Amino acid sequence: MRWFAEWLDSHAWSTALHESLHMYPIVESTHVLSLMIFVGTLFIVDFRLMGIAFRNMPVSELTSRILPWTTLGFVVIVSTGLMLFYAIPVRTYHSIWFRFKVVLIVAAGINAWLFHRRMKKKPVVWNDDPVPPLHVRASAAASVLVWSGVIICGRMIAYNWFDCDKQQPGWVQFLAGCVPEDLIH
């Protein structure tokens, strides 16, 4: 994977995006604004599934009318996220925060997949219930927690406490996959 990050880093466009006075902040801001659309609408659906908001509306209405906006936000946030990775590939690849973030995104994806699979298998008899069954509430709460974790890790990528170019404890070097030649003496 390191070679892939280095290959991206060798692109002139990667450097251009990273060093651009306006493009990098614009892409970064779009990433944050699409976060508001993506996770914002997702949380509305999760809050309904947890039985803490929008209780007087059928669950199916929120999933069918709100989740398309979540998907739209997802497309924008993934596109801008890939551009941000492309701009700073090697450092990001070795960032433990980025690595935690990817793990949490995969976990959130599995949680969502399991939920939708169960929804399809069994008829949803709780569509109009103000408070859905426990397993539904648990799944929605897990979604809120894991996505919040994604946001926290994402924000932390900007900070260089655990970067490989500094002397790091063994566990950080292991998690970050540091290679010795990156250390600046």
Partner 1 sequence: MSLYDIFDALERGPIGEAIRNSHWLFPVIEAFHLIGLVVLGGAVLVVDLRLLGLGLTRQSIARVTNAAKPVLYCGIAMMFGTGIPLALSEMIKLYYNRSFWVKVTALAVVLIFTFTVKHPLIRRENTNRLVLFLIGLISMTLWFTVAGSGRWIGFSS
Nearest distance from C-beta of residue 43 to partner 1, angstroms: 5
Alpha carbons 6 and 8: distance in angstroms, whole number: 5
Nearest distance from C-beta of residue 44 to partner 1, angstroms: 4
5 or 35, CB closer to partner 1? 35
Alpha carbons 20 and 79: distance in angstroms, whole number: 18
* Helices assigned H by DSSP within the chain: 2-9, 12-19, 23-50, 59-87, 89-93, 96-121, 134-156, 170-176
10 or 60, CB closer to partner 1? 60
Q: CA torsion sign, 161 to 164 to 167 to 170?
A: positive
Alpha carbons 170 and 70: distance in angstroms, whole number: 39
132 or 154, CB closer to partner 1? 154
Task: Judge contact between 131 and 51, C-beta under 8 A.
Answer: yes
Nearest distance from C-beta of residue 12 to partner 1, angstroms: 23
Nearest distance from C-beta of residue 85 to partner 1, angstroms: 18
The binding site for partner 1 (CB under 8 A) comprises 25, 28-29, 32-33, 35-37, 39-44, 47, 53-57, 61-62, 65-66, 69, 147-148, 151-152, 154-156, 158-159, 161
8 or 92, CB closer to partner 1? 92
